[in-house]
């Protein structure tokens, strides 16, 4: 493995993956840093499918640049058990891509109106896919379990963090410091698992 390209345009995700992967001692580049620009349609029905779609599209484009590249991509979202795991793979698109999270979060709170604590279970899920230099595809999954709160709390994080309550910590994920969240998050867990896969395969 000569380098890793992570298929995202999100600077926050890039920072996190560079930190977690640093002991592999291989350069980790964003698509932009690798000179790749492409729009990818996420039309899979699971987090894993979407991550694989993204990683394969970028791997196909990257092949002409370098043969030794491992391409990673992720897909993540929130599953609310009471809502049959909605918004799931539609988390970013829920109520429209341009709708603010204040409105999306309030909508989920409203849809759980009157639902007791024990039925408010939810989880953030993250799937990471890797396309290896030989074309092999590997996926890992990380989850963090919590409950949908009754109001927005905290200003850190992004997206659904203000309504994702961690009973053990008595805080929402928007009330955690970034390092605290990375240590226990779905994305952190999936990335750690992927790092172990890459080490094992010595690609
Ligand atoms: P994507 O994986 O970049 O497509 O993001 C999916 C969507 O899931 C995000 O836009 C958020 O709505 C939601 N999401 C994923 N991870 C988190 C998280 O850690 N906190 C809050 N929302 C998240």
* CA distances (Å), origin 82, targets 6, 37, 172, 202: 33, 39, 19, 42
Confirm or reject: Cβ of 78 under 6 Å from ligand 1: yes
To test the pocket of ligand 1, the residue of 78, 139, 171 to mutate (highest count of ligand atoms within 8 Å of its CB) is 78
Distances (CA, A) of 21 to 5, 61, 119, 197: 12, 23, 37, 12
CA 41, chain centre distance (Å): 16
Q: pLDDT 10s per residue in the chain (203 long)?
A: 688 999 988 887 888 888 888 888 899 999 999 988 888 888 999 999 999 999 999 999 887 777 789 999 999 999 999 999 999 999 999 999 999 999 999 999 999 999 999 999 999 999 999 999 999 999 999 999 999 999 999 999 899 999 999 999 999 999 999 889 989 999 999 999 999 999 988 76
Q: What is the DSSP letter of 152?
A: -
3-state secondary structure of 71: strand
Ligand 1 pocket member 8 (CB < 6 A) = no
Helix (H, G, I), strand (E, B) or coil at 101: helix
Distance 161 CA to ligand 1 centre (A): 9
For ligand 1, what atom is nearest to the CA of residue 186? 19
> Cβ of 136: how many Cβ atoms within 10 Å?
11
């Amino acid at each position: 493995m000569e380098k890793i390209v992570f298929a995202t345009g999100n600077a926050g995700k890039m920072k996190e993956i560079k930190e977690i992967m640093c002991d592999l001692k291989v350069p980790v580049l964003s698509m932009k840093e690798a000179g790749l620009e492409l729009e990818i349609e996420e039309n899979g029905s699971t987090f894993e499918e979407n991550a694989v779609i993204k990683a394969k599209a970028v791997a196909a484009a990257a092949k002409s640049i370098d043969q030794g590249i491992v391409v990673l991509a992720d897909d993540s979202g929130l599953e609310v058990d009471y809502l049959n795991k909605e918004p799931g793979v539609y988390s970013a698109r829920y109520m429209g891509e341009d709708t603010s999270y204040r409105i999306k979060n309030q909508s989920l709170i409203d849809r759980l109106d009157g639902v007791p604590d024990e039925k408010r279970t939810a989880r953030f899920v993250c799937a990471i896919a890797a396309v290896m230099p030989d074309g092999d595809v590997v996926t890992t999954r990380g989850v963090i379990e919590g409950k949908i709160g009754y109001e927005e709390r905290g200003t850190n994080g992004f997206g659904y963090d203000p309504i994702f309550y961690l009973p053990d910590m008595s805080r929402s994920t928007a009330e955690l410091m970034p390092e605290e969240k990375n240590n226990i998050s779905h994305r952190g867990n999936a990335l750690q698992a992927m790092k172990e896969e890459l080490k094992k395969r010595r690609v």
